[in-house]
Structure 1
Amino acid sequence: MIFFLLLALSVSSGVCDVLYKEAGKEVILQCGAPPNSDIEWRLNNIRLISITGKSGLRRKGSGHSVDKVNLYGDTLKIPRLEPRDSGVYSCAQSGKQYTLHVVSVFVKPGPVLIQSSDVELHCNIEGDPNTEVEWLRPPNDQVHDAKHQKINLKSVTSSDEGKWTCKVEDLKLSVTLTVVANHQINNVEVSERDDIELPCFLPRPVSQSVLGGKWKADHLPTVPFPTLKNTADEGLHWDGVNSSVVKYNIERISTIFNVTLKKVQSIFAGKFVCEVEFEHGGKLTAVTNLTVKSWTDRNDGKTGKNSKPGLAGEIFRKSMFGVELWIWIAVGAFSVVLVPLIIGIVCMQQKNKQKKRRVRKLRSMRQPLTAKDYCQCNRSDREVVLCQRERPLPAPRQQRNLRTAGLNHAYEHA
């Protein structure tokens, strides 16, 4: 009797608990109905889930939360809270009501920021945008003047870095800001004719997207430095063409914006500036002071780092038509050796040609070969008569017969 009296009193008085819960967590709501009774939970007066006490039959209603809620007896459990889970939850049997507000804290554009950029801190209370909150700022949780759910920080500095806390009733949610320095100073030394990489980078990825950037050197106005561009098709990349002086990465860029100077000359010594612009006002500036060590200083072990080069070194380092004097001297010395060699080769070729012409001329002046007097037509009649052999007189027939008979007789005995 006392339980039903209290239940009727709570329903008549319309008591409704207000809950503030962090997004991503879970919440448990109690109905308070008698055991084995029918239970029905509603969200904004729309049936969410119900159970029949005697049979244990469950029925799901409608809404985005029906697939993840669980009902254990009269207890409703809602895991993985989202802002859209906010609303009024009511148990029909007991009349118990809960007004749930899902709270989330976030930063726009993100928690990692370039120094001097702007940022927005949000403590979003879903379903109750007018409720004031309390902000606690770093380093020692000092109370911030602003009470709104959204506060704007202009030109953040290292003093803004740290944990920012939003306090709503007994709920505290925090977010940590990281501020990256926007100014770098580097001192680099390189020897003449060597390559050197000029540094310009972020120690970690930042939340802001890059809008553009460039390298520049006021003392080298003709050097073709590239520019940064960010397009939907190619992303963040250098726009330009690699030259004999400057080399850079042709692929996509994230946090490293270095470029390389090739075959450094003494006239390259000076200040190089890298500028990278981000959204929301952030800007990175990297200054590199380049010192070029002369060729004489590098090869002379007795010459100190800060010592002055000799007169010969100063003369050789002077430039003529944009090229150092020692290069012109080397070209001249090479020409002194090469020109006589070419002249000697040409003279040898001319002599060979003259020799060949002389040989052909001598061959053309020889008398043609004549037939020797081997034919009898050119001999005299006396030589012909002498050369003729006298024919012997024929033997008598009787001698020829005796000779033939002798031969036959010899043949038969054989």
Structure 2
Amino acid sequence: MFLFYHFLLTEMHICLHFTSFDPTFKMKIAVWFVLVLGALSAAGDVFLTKPGQSATLKCGVNNFVNSLEWRNEKDRIYSQDKGFPRRGQGDIADRSQLRNTNLRISGVKEQDAGKFTCEVDGTAREHTLLVVSVSVSSSADLRLGGTATLQCQVKGLSPDSTVQWKRPDGRPHKGSQIVQLYPLARSDVGTWICVISHAGKTFNESLDIKVAEPAHTTPAPVPPKSTKDNRAAAPSSKLGLSWWMWVVIGVGCAVVLLLMAFVVCLCKRIKRRRRKLRKMKNGRQRLKPEQYCQCNHPTAAAKPQQGRRREKPSAPPLQPLLMG
């Protein structure tokens, strides 16, 4: 900007030198250059930021004498008159701070974008704040052959501004703020750049596109039909098991066989022990005394007690005589 001012002053000096013969024309040229310099000095800058970040809007002058005021559209954000600072009302005013003549906004939101006016000692300078956000969205993880949507949303642009995407190879992509990629190819992987043109200035915002590589699947070899060995090996190849899986299966089979052998041996041992106990029980029964059979005969008569009279035995019953 300083070089441009120096160029204008040089041109004005040359014009005044060659038009010294006409004082009226000389005065017109001087007034025209003053107006041009005043308009250039009052022209504002364009500031670019992202949502959630901080932005510092530079007023264009380093100090002031009487008054300083920052406005967003028509709302006052911050003002200072003769050493008495006053803060405006609103959400953006609560998030703003005045640093010398510059305005710092914390936690920028999309609705903060637009025109800002810095007025110093009666001279107003208009600035523009652009809030840009780039993103890529997809229904699932980005994979080759899938779908992806690139968005470059810019708030605060003027109607004559343009927004366009550039591919990773540098070629401009057809479309504006939104780009649909289907199917997603390897040529789409890389850094995409959103080019923003506003008020004769160009801004770039980059976005990296990364995709997940598809899983490589090797098909099972198809055995030729002529050989029987290949036919026999075909089922094992279809299983697709690695060598360590076969080792695990072999160890498992060996453990099962050992358990079966242990159970068989245990059963045999239990049977032998039962047989031995049975023999010991039979041997004990043989050692017991033998029991003899007893005949049924009348018992002896009880002895008569002393001091009593001995009774005569009763006569046996008469048996009938045999008839001759």
**Alpha-carbon shift at residue 362 of structure 1 (Å):** 2.5
Say which of 123, 126, 134 aligns to 2:155: 126
Corresponding position of 1:37: 66
Corresponding position of 2:173: 144
Say which of 53, 69, 77 aligns to 2:96: 69
Does structure 2 retain, via aligned residues, the 8 Å contact 1:114–1:179? yes
CA distance 1:16–1:112, change in 2 (3 Å): farther
Distance 1:174 1:105 in 2: 8
Indicate whether 1:160 and 2:188 are aligned: yes
**Alpha-carbon shift at residue 46 of structure 1 (Å):** 0.6
Corresponding position of 1:214: none
Say which of 226, 241, 244 aligns to 1:290: 241
Distance 2:60 2:255 in 1: 94
CA distance 1:340–1:91, change in 2 (3 Å): closer
Does structure 2 retain, via aligned residues, the 8 Å contact 1:119–1:152? yes
Task: Name the structure with the higher strand share.
Answer: 1
Question: Which amino acid letter does the alignment assign opposite residue 49 of structure 2?
Answer: E
**Alpha-carbon shift at residue 124 of structure 1 (Å):** 1.0
CA distance 1:36–1:363, change in 2 (3 Å): farther
Distance 1:111 1:339 in 2: 61
TM-score by length of 1: 0.46
- What are the residue-to-residue correspondences of 1:186-205 with 2, within 5 Å? none
CA distance 1:40–1:336, change in 2 (3 Å): closer
- CA deviation profile, 1:28-51 (whole Å, cap 9, x unmatched): 232659831212211120110000
**Alpha-carbon shift at residue 105 of structure 1 (Å):** 1.6
CA distance 1:151–1:334, change in 2 (3 Å): same
- What are the residue-to-residue correspondences of 1:213-232 with 2, within 5 Å? none
Indicate whether 1:182 and 2:133 are aligned: no
CA distance 1:51–1:292, change in 2 (3 Å): same
**Alpha-carbon shift at residue 142 of structure 1 (Å):** 2.1
**Alpha-carbon shift at residue 172 of structure 1 (Å):** 0.6
C-alpha RMSD over aligned residues: 4.3
Distance 2:244 2:102 in 1: 79
Say which of 87, 105, 108 aligns to 2:114: 87
- CA deviation profile, 1:363-405 (whole Å, cap 9, x unmatched): 989xxxxxxxxxxxxxxxxxxxxxxxxxxxxxxxxxxxxxxxx
Distance 1:39 1:87 in 2: 20
Question: Which amino acid letter does the alignment assign opposite residue 64 of structure 1?
Answer: D
Q: How many residues align?
A: 232
**Alpha-carbon shift at residue 332 of structure 1 (Å):** 8.2
- What are the residue-to-residue correspondences of 1:346-361 with 2, within 5 Å? 346-359=274-287, 361=288
**Alpha-carbon shift at residue 159 of structure 1 (Å):** 2.4
**Alpha-carbon shift at residue 173 of structure 1 (Å):** 0.6
Question: Which amino acid letter does the alignment assign opposite residue 145 of structure 1?
Answer: K
SS at match of 1:113: coil
Does structure 1 retain, via aligned residues, the 8 Å contact 2:128–2:156? no
Question: Which amino acid letter does the alignment assign opposite residue 123 of structure 1?
Answer: C
Say which of 203, 209, 213 aligns to 1:171: 203
Distance 2:260 2:131 in 1: 83
- What are the residue-to-residue correspondences of 1:87-106 with 2, within 5 Å? 87-92=114-119, 93-106=122-135
Question: Which amino acid letter does the alignment assign opposite residue 100 of structure 1?
Answer: L
CA distance 1:112–1:159, change in 2 (3 Å): farther
- CA deviation profile, 1:93-151 (whole Å, cap 9, x unmatched): 3232223221222222599723333222111111449753121111x3222122x1111
Distance 1:110 1:332 in 2: 55
- CA deviation profile, 1:248-272 (whole Å, cap 9, x unmatched): xxxxxxxxxxxxxxxxxxx88645x
Question: Which amino acid letter does the alignment assign opposite residue 290 of structure 1?
Answer: L
**Alpha-carbon shift at residue 25 of structure 1 (Å):** 5.3
- Identical amino acids, percent of aligned pairs: 23
TM-score by length of 2: 0.57
Note the residue ranges of structure 1 that are not aligned, 5 or more in a row. 188-266, 272-288, 299-316, 318-322, 366-414
**Alpha-carbon shift at residue 58 of structure 1 (Å):** 0.8
Distance 1:72 1:176 in 2: 35
Distance 1:91 1:327 in 2: 86
Note the residue ranges of structure 2 that are not aligned, 5 or more in a row. 1-30, 220-234, 293-324
Question: Which amino acid letter does the alignment assign opposite residue 21 of structure 1?
Answer: L
Distance 1:358 1:62 in 2: 118
CA distance 1:41–1:333, change in 2 (3 Å): closer
Say which of 271, 289, 295 aligns to 1:362: 289
Question: Which amino acid letter does the alignment assign opposite residue 348 of structure 1?
Answer: K
